[in-house]
Amino acid sequence: MKNQKTVSALMVMLFIAFTSYAKNENQFNKDITNYSEVTSIMDAYLSIKEALVSDDQKKASEYGEVLATAASEFDVKKYPNTEVNEILEVIQEHGEHIAKSEISHQREHFAELAQELKDLVQIVGTDRTLYAQYCPMYNNNKGGSWLSVSEDIKNPYYGNKMLKCGSVKEVIEKD
């Protein structure tokens, strides 16, 4: 029994050491590859999207937190335009809600994010080509948009039930 405890404690410690090492590695890569700030926001957003596509509330919640942090850490001083700060404030709040909500409410906040991100990249640019996609059925046929890095449709609003509903409405080219 005691032995078992020691072994599991050791495993936990190893795991923590390993993950923190992996994190550091990541940080390092970002620094050497001309890391743009919008990257961490887009990464978090797209991870939330992937999570919602696969009906994964927990993962969406984790990346909601990441998105909120990324928005709050964005260096707005580079942009004299006050609009950027306002967009980031709103993105941060959506992220915080996604972090603490059940999946249908996560999707409501996610639906609001597409326009904010489009407005953001219009000012600060995008590090990758984005496809603005649209499903007319979401929210009682009022429709819902999202951004994707691929032309393929993977609808985040219904998960498994309706993966293919939607079409590309706009292509936002990489700067």
Partner 1 sequence: LKRFAKLLGGILSVVLIGIQLFPNRHNSYEPTSSDDFIVYYNPPQEIQSSLRSACYACHSNQTNYPWYSHIQPFGWFVQNHIDDGRAELNLSEFGKLSQRKKRMKLKSMMKEIEKGGMPLKSYRLMHNKSNLTKIQKQHIIDYLSSK
Which residues contact partner 1 (rule: CB under 8 A)?
82-83, 86-87, 89-90, 93-94, 108, 112, 116
Minimum distance between the CB of residue 24 and partner 1, rounded to whole angstroms? 34
Minimum distance between the CB of residue 83 and partner 1, rounded to whole angstroms? 8
In the complex with partner 1, which residue's Cβ is closer, 43 or 108?
Answer: 108
> Alpha carbon 172 to chain centroid distance?
17
**Measured between alpha carbons, how far is 121 from 92 in angstroms, rounded to an integer?**
15
In the complex with partner 1, which residue's Cβ is closer, 131 or 144?
Answer: 144
CA dihedral angle for residue 60, residue 63, residue 64, residue 68, rounded to 10 degrees: -170
Minimum distance between the CB of residue 20 and partner 1, rounded to whole angstroms? 32
Q: Which stretches of 13-166 are assigned E, i.e. beta strand?
A: 130-135, 144-148
Minimum distance between the CB of residue 169 and partner 1, rounded to whole angstroms? 20
In the complex with partner 1, which residue's Cβ is closer, 113 or 131?
Answer: 113
Residue 135: phi, psi to the nearest 5? -120, 120
- Asked if residues 170 and 132 have their Cβ atoms less than 8 Å apart, the reply is yes
Minimum distance between the CB of residue 90 and partner 1, rounded to whole angstroms? 5
Collapsing DSSP to helix, strand or coil, 143 comes out as coil
In the complex with partner 1, which residue's Cβ is closer, 62 or 112?
Answer: 112
Query: What residues have CB less than 8 Å from 18, skipping those under 6 apart?
Result: none
In the complex with partner 1, which residue's Cβ is closer, 78 or 100?
Answer: 100
